[in-house]
Amino acid sequence: MTASGVRLVVVDDHPVVRAGIVGLLAGEPDLDVVGEAADGAAALDVVARTAPDVVLMDLRMPVVDGATATERILAAHPRVRVVVLTTYETDADILRAVEAGAAGYLLKDTPRDELVEGVRAAARGETVLAPSVARRLVTQVRNGTERLTARELEVLAAVARGRSNAQIGSDLFIAEATVKTHLLRIFAKLGVDDRTRAVTVALERGILRTP
């Protein structure tokens, strides 16, 4: 954050939505939108070129998704603060963003004043969470449920798409035996004993999105 204010990049694949976010922030004298991008790949270039303090990042985008882009941006520019701004609040989405290193997770229906304050807070080094997202994280901790790793989520998502163990191994460039090991760990964490029930429970808990 500079003396003149917070430098921002807005990343969203929908032009109208992106323009709306920029418009919401434009009236604040201490916030300066220095760049925009329509996908995660473009975001990497814009961040490298503009050196922002905060990136508002959509999650589900073409070319490179928001979580992957967040991870890559932070690897190259560790001082940048990435705040996810999305419509989605499933456990799987939240977990991916947190694992990628996001400093915050806000929803697109966040009131303008809260969004503006969230950007300022992120620039100050604070963690910013929508109330519903914070509740989900607290519930996970209270339940004591062991979270699925990013790889386990990939394997389970592939199972939900009807892929066989051999196909999953080929898709993820891992041995079929490794796929079976991941599945056994998934079963143990979810308290189930077969593939179908694992997918059903994951969908019920919001760990997995509907295919």
- Average pLDDT (123-132) is 88
Return the closest-CA partner of residue 100 out of 60, 71, 58: 71
Residue 42: the pLDDT is 97
Would the pLDDT of 172 be above 70? yes
Residue 195 φ/ψ, nearest 5 degrees: -65, -45
CA 97 to the chain's CA centroid: 3
Q: How confident is the model at residue 64 (pLDDT cuts 50, 70, 90)?
A: very high
How far is 20 from 29, CA to CA, in rounded Å? 17
Amino acid (one-letter) located at 67: A
Q: What is the pLDDT of residues 80-119, one digit of tens each?
A: 999 999 988 777 777 778 778 888 899 999 999 999 999 9
Q: How confident is the model at residue 4 (pLDDT cuts 50, 70, 90)?
A: low
Q: How confident is the model at residue 139 (pLDDT cuts 50, 70, 90)?
A: low
Mean pLDDT across the chain, nearest whole number?
A: 88
Return the closest-CA partner of residue 58 out of 35, 33, 80, 84: 84
Q: How many CA atoms lie within 13 A of 33 on its CB side?
A: 18
Q: What is the pLDDT of residues 178-188, one digit of tens each?
A: 898 889 888 88
Q: Are 91 and 65 in contact (CB under 8 A)?
A: no
Amino acid (one-letter) located at 137: L
Q: Are 12 and 59 in contact (CB under 8 A)?
A: no
Q: How confident is the model at residue 30 (pLDDT cuts 50, 70, 90)?
A: very high
The whole-model pTM stands at 0.67
- Average pLDDT (186-205) is 88
Which long-range contacts (C-beta less than 8 Å, at least 24 apart) are formed by 147-150?
Answer: 147/95, 147/189, 148/95, 148/186, 148/189, 148/202, 148/207, 150/95, 150/96, 150/99
How far is 93 from 166, CA to CA, in rounded Å? 26
CA 140, 146, 149, 155 dihedral sign is negative
Residue 21: the pLDDT is 95
Residue 95: the pLDDT is 74
Q: What is the pLDDT of residues 140-161, one digit of tens each?
A: 655 555 678 888 999 999 999 9
How far is 152 from 68, CA to CA, in rounded Å? 16
Which residues are within 8 A (CB) of 135 and not within 5 positions of it... i.e. 6 or more apart? none
